[in-house]
């Protein structure tokens, strides 16, 4: 009695990061016709094992990661009767889960080879040799390879980025049989936001939070809310998007947020659990996952990158500010005191004859590093965290975050504080370390394989920077723990009550955003369920329209219901021009079916008494399982003029 209009989930507005490769998972093993070779392959690894390669090309090094997993059709085939397969495939690190077969690092970063007179083969060759040796030769043709470049390459001119990625792709295509369907999809420079989202996928996949959060949903309560809005549209009048309308997301949030502190930038990614304004939707990412049973689920995520707020960039700004202040009092600056350096340590500025002498004071270092955080930039949204960037006001009282990269290194390589973040203990240990002389620091902590002199030299600043960014930036921890007034109390502390963990590995698996990339690729190989197939959904990441290079508005004109991931949604019927992360595709077939349905409904409704009509309407609404948390563009439909019993209350 009703028709559901489906749409292909993402479009021109958001940046669609789906992998458009062919069905690489159907490529068979390759044998050379030699019986011995075939026997060797069979003995090395089971036939139903698959492999994938992701190369993380950062600013200081490139790291090749090898992943393996059991062939999806085999997993499904071997499942026992009654197994709902409502889980994700197991992704292993390395060949047969052996860690030393899964990673290869090489320095310097790939951006060093951007100029025409450098030999890129010196950088890529050793990684290719490693992967070719650890992955069975017969599996090469069916093994996809991806190279995603980050911080260092982002600083290059766009043309240089393209040339570098093209050269890298050409090298792998000419010198290996690894699967590369399209250079533009397999060799890319990814944004900080995309990198952050993949890190979020990694943490929540390793913690098992993706599956547990899906099982924890309570769709019936959400259905009742939508039914109430349908039955009482006069209480929910449509308003302009600038009026402060908000969209409610899942309050029962079982996932972990992620904080990533890199060298050039820092990221924060989390799943909203409170209302997000109409304006805020332009800043949301959308992740569609697929479980082994073929059902798709979509997660809304907020993630942002603060460029120039990575630990290395922050330290560069810090030294520049010290030098500029010194030059304000004297043109000939000989020495500049840097409280973030250890006492007894001196270093010359790279571009200036001035010399920086260590002062060894955490309190002064925190005060100076806090000044780097720009909270005075114009905020064009309801709320900005700092640097004028939008941040959704959320309830983090019971939310948990994982800090990775320098959050882990700065608290554990030297201070040995463990996974549970305790700000007071961190400050206490950091203060003791900063007060040590350079000679004492080297005597107690220097270890060439883990703690180098460069790491010792920057440890005090990195500790101060984490204190500043967490307190002054995110407001995650109390800012009044020091009698020396190290922090300024904030009027709004969005993350004050959140719990923070720091980690380098979870469950013996290293936390790397490359796991998120490989998992999203692997999910493509899962056959869609009839429900997912009918809705046209598939595993993909859609980045927010707010960070795409060209924003386009999409006009939404529809009546009835639309699909988002695994849930049915009620869409607004009136035409409006807004930036939404989706695009509706309606075939002539569905238009005809919908028109016929309208006529049938009208004929039936005219012959029903009110009691029978009410029972039918309640039954139809009860089968529309519509969790409102997945409806970022939900509105009641008071302006629909179609006399449809399903959507309008009649007198």
> Which residues contribute to the annotated binding site?
263-267
Contacts for 308 with CB less than 8 Å, ≥ 6 apart: 264, 265, 314, 317
Which DSSP string do the residues of 534-555 spell out, in sequence order? HHT--SEEEE-GGGSSS---EE
Nearest Cα neighbor of 271 from 203, 336, 320 is: 203
Tokens, residue 73? 């059709």
In 386-458, beta strands by DSSP E? 400-405
CA-CA-CA-CA torsion sign (307, 312, 316, 318): positive
Whether residue 251 contacts residue 273, with contact meaning beta carbons closer than 8 Å, is answered with yes
Q: Which of 195, 313, 510, 566 is catalytic?
A: 195
SS3 label, residue 421:
coil
In 125-247, beta strands by DSSP E? 145-149, 187-189, 246-247
Tell me the binding residues for ATP.
Answer: 263-267
Tokens, residue 428? 């206490």
Whether residue 5 contacts residue 595, with contact meaning beta carbons closer than 8 Å, is answered with no
Nearest Cα neighbor of 269 from 212, 202, 171, 363 is: 202
**Is beta strand 554-556 parallel, antiparallel or unpaired with respect to 540-543?**
unpaired
User: Catalytic residue at 195?
Assistant: yes
Nearest Cα neighbor of 55 from 143, 118, 115 is: 143
Nearest-angstrom CA–CA distance, 116 and 285: 37
Nearest-angstrom CA–CA distance, 140 and 50: 10
Give 145's strand partners: 53
Give 561's strand partners: 4, 570
H or E element that contains 267 = strand 265-270
Residues annotated catalytic, as ranges: 195
């Amino acid at each position: 009695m009703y028709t559901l209009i489906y749409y292909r989930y993402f479009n021109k507005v958001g940046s669609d990061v789906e992998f458009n490769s062919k069905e690489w998972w159907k490529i068979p093993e390759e044998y050379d016709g030699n019986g011995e070779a075939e026997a060797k392959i069979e003995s090395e690894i089971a036939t139903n094992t698959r492999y994938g390669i992701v190369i993380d090309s950062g600013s200081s090094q490139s790291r090749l990661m090898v992943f393996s997993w059991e062939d999806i059709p085999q997993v499904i085939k071997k499942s026992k009767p009654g197994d709902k397969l409502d889980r994700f495939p197991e992704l292993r690190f390395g060949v047969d889960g052996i860690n030393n077969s899964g990673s290869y690092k090489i320095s310097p970063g790939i951006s060093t080879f951007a100029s025409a007179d450098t030999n890129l083969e010196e950088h890529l060759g050793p990684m290719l040799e490693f992967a070719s040796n650890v992955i069975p030769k017969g599996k090469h043709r069916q093994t996809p390879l991806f190279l995603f470049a980050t911080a260092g390459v982002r600083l290059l001119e766009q043309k240089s980025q393209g040339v570098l990625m093209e050269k890298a792709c050409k090298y792998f295509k000419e010198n290996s049989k690894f699967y590369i369907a399209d250079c533009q999809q397999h060799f890319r420079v990814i944004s900080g936001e995309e990198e952050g989202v993949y890190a979020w996928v990694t943490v929540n996949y390793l913690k098992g939070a993706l599956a547990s959060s899906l099982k924890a949903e309570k769709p019936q309560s959400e259905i009742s809310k939508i039914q109430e809005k349908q039955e009482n549209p006069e209480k929910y009048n449509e308003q302009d998007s600038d009026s402060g309308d908000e969209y409610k997301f899942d309050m029962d949030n079982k996932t972990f947020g992620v904080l990533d502190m890199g060298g050039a930038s820092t990221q924060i990614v989390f799943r909203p659990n409170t209302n997000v304004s109409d304006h805020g939707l332009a800043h949301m990412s959308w992740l569609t996952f697929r479980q082994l049973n073929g059902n798709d689920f979509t997660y809304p995520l907020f993630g942002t990158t603060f460029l120039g707020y990575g630990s290395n960039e922050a330290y560069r700004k810090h030294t520049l500010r010290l030098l500029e202040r010194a030059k304000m009092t004297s043109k000939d600056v000989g020495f500049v005191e840097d409280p973030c350096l250890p006492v007894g340590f001196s270093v010359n500025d790279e571009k200036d004859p001035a010399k920086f002498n260590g002062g060894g004071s955490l309190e002064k270092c925190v005060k100076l590093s806090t000044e780097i955080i720009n909270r005075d930039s114009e905020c064009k949204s309801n709320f900005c965290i700092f640097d004028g960037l939008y941040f959704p006001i959320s309830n983090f009282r019971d939310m948990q975050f994982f800090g990775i990269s320098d959050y882990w290194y700065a608290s554990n390589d030297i201070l040995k504080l463990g996974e549970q973040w305790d700000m007071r203990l961190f400050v206490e240990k950091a203060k003791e370390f900063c007060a040590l002389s350079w000679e004492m620091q080297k005597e107690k902590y220097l270890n060439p394989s883990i703690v180098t002199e460069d790491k010792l030299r920057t440890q005090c600043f990195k500790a101060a920077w984490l204190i500043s960014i967490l307190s002054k930036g995110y407001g995650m921890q109390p800012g009044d723990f020091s009698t020396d007034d190290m922090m300024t109390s904030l009027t709004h502390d969005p993350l004050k009550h959140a719990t923070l963990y720091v980690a380098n590995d979870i469950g013996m698996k290293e936390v790397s955003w490359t796991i998120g990339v490989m998992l999203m690729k692997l999910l493509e190989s899962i056959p869609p369920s009839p429900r997912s197939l009918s809705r046209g959904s598939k595993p993909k990441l859609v980045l927010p329209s707010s960070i795409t290079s060209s924003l386009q508005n999409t006009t939404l004109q529809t009546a009835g219901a639309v699909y988002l991931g695994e849930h049915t949604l009620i869409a607004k019927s009136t035409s409006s021009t807004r930036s939404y992360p989706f695009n509706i595709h309606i075939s002539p077939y569905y238009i005809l079916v919908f028109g016929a349905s309208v006529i049938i409904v009208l004929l039936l409704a005219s012959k029903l008494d009110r009691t029978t009509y009410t029972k039918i309407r309640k039954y139809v609404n009860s089968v529309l399982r519509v969790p409102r948390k997945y409806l970022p563009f939900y509105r009641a439909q008071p302006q629909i003029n179609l006399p449809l019993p399903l959507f309008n209350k009649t007198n």
